[in-house]
A and B are shown apart, each in its own frame.
Chain A
Amino acid sequence: MTDHYSTDELIKDYYHKQNLSADKLQQMTEIAQLKNQQTKPAAINWKQRWLAQRNISIAASLLLAAIISLQWIIATPTQQQLVASIAQEIAINHQKQFGSDFKAASYIGLRNAMKKLDFKLVDPDRLKARGLQILGGRYCSLHGQIAAQVRLKNDTGAIFTLYQTSSHDSFNTLTEHSQRANGVEIEMWNEGGVFLGIAG
């Protein structure tokens, strides 16, 4: 051996004769194969997991929607409940028999006096035939909305109170109703975009 070339040849020859034993080679190949086998089910597991999570999400969304709908249904009063509630409120207001803050003999006069109302007081057609005399009016509230309470008197001197409020939200869905609350006869109806209720 006299030069680098022959040294390299010797080294090359030496290492090329060194081989991993067949057993070890087999063992390491099996490690690779085992890993491949483990990788495939893992991919399926991911898919299954994703599907399971998707199904759980859908089920949870549906359940949430059902709960919200149910709560809305329960929380939303029926028309009958709404009528009863308003009738009760009118009856209580009527029974208090508060005096009038604004003195006027006509609806026009009251309308001019009660400037805070967000609607125009109407002269209800329904009451024209009854010959009711206007005594005055005051502000009140009905079902959380600003309303006007108009005190009326008939020929026999009986006192009636008329309630008027803007007919929006739940009021405009109410049809004509007559019912008794707290021993007071109450009539309710909509007219000219205004919700009306008379007690007496």
Chain B
Amino acid sequence: MSESLAMLLQHGYRYALSLAHHTAKAEDLLQDAWVAVIQAGGPHEKGYLFCAIRTRFYNQHKRELLAPMEPLAPIHESILETGDGLNTVLHGIEDPRLETALAQLRGIEREVLFLNAVEGYTAQEITTITGQARGTVLSMLSRTRNKIQRHFIASTNRAVQHD
């Protein structure tokens, strides 16, 4: 297996995860996008793959808003119940507070944060990828970070009170 190909797919998976915040959905997103890239004979590049993933995520998201779908079979994975009832399926979580904080974010917020904090894209580059205005991207980054911090503080306070 090519090392660069494996790296590319891992990058794609993490990006899909930032959007969907659900491992199975992220895998499906990546697979759909990957098949599309291959069938189109597109370049094996991160930007191209991200674009394919993003398009599929938002198309799927629109469909789900129009016609909510129930899974045919139960998902046999560990499900973490969040405080406000959000279900997320994630592997290897060390700090459940971070996972809960991420689960409470909107997809676009997680995406923007992921692209900046994990992939190292600048605000201008994120603007190109997401189609959001540069000012919106900057304020969204700031607000998202604050949300996570507030969530951490609130969780810590609740834990202290509980003790």
Contact = CB atoms under 8 A, between A and B. Distances in A.
A21 B23 CA distance: 10
A12 interface: yes
Interface stretch (A25-33, A49-57, A74-82, A188-196): A25-33
Interface residues of A, number: 25
A28 B9 contact: yes
Contacts of A20: 9-10, 13, 27, 30
Contacts of A7: 117, 145, 148-149
B118 A29 contact: no
B90 A29 contact: no
A19 B13 contact: yes
A24 B148 CA distance: 31
Binding site of B, secondary structure by majority: helix, strand, loop or mixed?
helix
Interface string A8-36: 10111011111111001111110110010
Contact of B6 (A12, A17, A18, A25): A25
B79 interface: no
Interface of B: 1-2, 5-6, 9-10, 13-14, 17-18, 23, 27, 30-31, 34-35, 38-39, 44, 90-95, 98-99, 102, 113-114, 116-118, 145, 148-149, 152
Given A18-B17, A26-B1, A31-B35, 20 more contacts: A7-B149, A8-B145, A10-B148, A11-B98, A11-B102, A11-B148, A14-B93, A14-B94, A14-B102, A15-B17, A16-B14, A18-B90, A18-B91, A24-B13, A25-B9, A25-B10, A28-B9, A29-B2, A31-B34, A35-B38
